[in-house]
Amino acid sequence: MRPVMCGICGWYHYRSGRPVDGELLAAATQRLAHRGPDDSGLFIDGPLGLGHRRLSIIDPAGGHQPMTTPDGRLTIVFNGEIYNHRDLRAQLQSKGCVYRTRSDTETLLHLYREYGLGMFAHLNGMWAFALWDRDERALLLSRDRLGEKPLYYSLAGGTLSFASELKALLALPWIGRRIDPRALAEYCTTLYVGAPQSILEDVRQLLPGQCLLFRDGNATFRQYWNALEHLDETRDDRSTAEANIRELLTSSVKYRLESDVPVGAFLSGGIDSTLVVSLMRRLVDGPVSTYSIGFVGPGLFDELPHAEETARRLGTDHHTFTVGPSELLDALPDMMTQLDEPFADSSALPVYYVSKLARTRVKVILSGDGGDEVFAGYNKYLGEYYYRRFLRIPRPLREGVVVPLLRALPESRATPLLERFRQTKKLLRGHGRDALGRYLTWLEQFDSAMRSELFSDSLKRELGDYDPTAPLRQAWTAGARRDPLTAALVADLVRGLPGDMLTKVDRMSMRHNLEVRVPFLDHRLVEYALSLPAEFKLDGRNTKAILKSAFRDLLPDDLLRRPKHGFDIPMGHWLKHELRDLAEEMFSRKAVESRGWFNPDYVQRIWREHLSNKREHNLTLWILMVFEMWQRTHL
């Protein structure tokens, strides 16, 4: 199988019909060179132009894009991987389709000709593609079910424009650069901008599981896959469910191992990456190469010893790299360039470095991402369990003693104990709210009161009564017909996973020309997991319960007992030391007023409180700093 990790872009001047400027198309495509440094190609058909950058692994000539059918009717640019390509190829050949290459790109062309918009039901993979139908004068855009691959588009200037990354669209003179106030509010609330919005008013993102068909001057959107369609609860008993999960995850890993080049794996030593590597060891001959990042410095929690112990136990060819504050800070400018929307999830930093490390030896990596969202692995999913126990405390004791005591706890992720304190305080913030409100407290970085203080009067006027948590509320409510846990999982699958987790994995890995495959996001596994009863996934305080029991033979006791710990950079320390000069300038009254988005009095106050150790505002200040760095880099 040929991995086709790429960057795509193009546009269709549907209103004017003017010919595409080839030099401009080449310039926009060049902005995606980091996604595909080995090959490039352009296709122009009057007012329609397609551009492609390719990371070639085998058969460079056979996989060249844009790819056109022999009759000249269909042309495609494709970023991604179709894992069941061989199965589909055999089926299509039995129907009389003739292949000229070994490429899964060609399979997409045959599928479209055979099934039209019904083609997506046949695909197992990750993708973003644009397909031009010359005879119908129609342009089809599509994004994979879970949103592993990005796809931006715009209808500005009488032109349908699209690209894998926003930076390519910023090369086009008809794309405006005005920031979307609603997207800014969402970023401040969740750390990212989720589809269908983008940070710019003129640009939108295709939703995961969505396609756009543009014909006769009209754009038609179709949601060909929706997580909500898979919520009917299965009647399978627990032992049957365990067997099915084991079969599905094993099949998913096997699919993603298909490659003509060696495939490695990220290994953190946690449950998900350990399972992926364990299955790889059973499915391949010889040792598996694994990659981990360690951290040194104040406030950094280092999981490298756990990863090294797991690698030793599994007999992998393990590679590590240890970074400290200077390396992490050195990466920030490059990260701001690659993350061409504001993105304040600091865990992008380790993904940046582990991708850089892995690319020195392999081009393809498997990761354990998605396991927490699919099988309820995050500590936040325990919130309802602990909240019910919290309410059992007699009210006078609870409100008079326990609540004040909990509010006095410090917030940090530097040690497992401090991480527990942080989680407890998050739980307390949901006290007195309904189940949806309690879920939102785990995700909101700025609640409505904080947003009111932070946002400038002009920004608040533009926002009106817009609620940046509305997309999360809508997703949670749709899943709540089952139970609160399923509601939270659905919201995380359709919002947080593509907006946060998959964004950082795609941008940081593609910066280093690395293809990352995610076995836990095989749609067959996701659909089955959605149908499972909540108690199969969360059994008391036992997160990912059924995943652990299904693979009990592959998970050592010490791993099952170890508490989950997220990554956190020592931002409070950096802001007072390594980043202080930059922060002083960015948070100055003059700088804040010149942008006009935020209230300078509020920004100045929290900055002074932070410097004086009166109160820590680590994440708040980091969100503001990232947004300012993004503006300076891209606008």
Cα distance between residue 471 and residue 91, in whole Å: 39
Residue 577 gets which letter from DSSP?
A: T
Give the three-class secondary structure for 171: coil
Contact 41, 7 (CB under 8 A): no
Catalytic residue (one of 6, 9, 188, 211): 6
Contact at 8 Å (CB) between 378 and 276?
A: no
Maximum distance among all Cα pairs of the chain, rounded to whole angstroms: 79
6 catalytic residue (yes or no): yes
Bridge pairing between strands 39-45 and 48-54: antiparallel
**DSSP letter for each residue of 321-372:** EEE-HHHHHHHHHHHHHH--S----TTHHHHHHHHHHHTTT-SEEE--TTHH
Query: Tokens at residue 68, please?
Result: 């056109």
Spatial CA neighbour of 418 closest among 563, 559, 293, 615: 563
Token pair in block for residue 483 = 């139970």
| Distance separating alpha carbons of residues 2 and 106, to the nearest angstrom | 11
Q: How far is CA 530 from CA 12, 317, 385, 432, 536, in A?
A: 38, 35, 20, 29, 11
Burial bucket for residue 513 (CB in 10 Å: 0-12, 13-18, 19+): middle
Closest by Cα among 297, 115, 105, 141 to 220:
141
DSSP 95-127: TT---SSS-HHHHHHHHHHHHGGGGGGG--EEE
Q: Which DSSP category does 579 fall into?
A: T
How many helices and strands (H and E) does the chain possess?
A: 30, 17
Pair of tokens at residue 378: 């995050």
Find all residues with CB under 8 Å of 206, minimum gap 6, and list them. 128, 141, 142, 143, 151, 152, 153, 195, 196, 212
Residue spans of alpha helices (H) in 217-289? 238-256, 271-283
As given in the structure block, the two tokens for residue 139 are 């342009």
- Which residues are catalytically annotated? 6
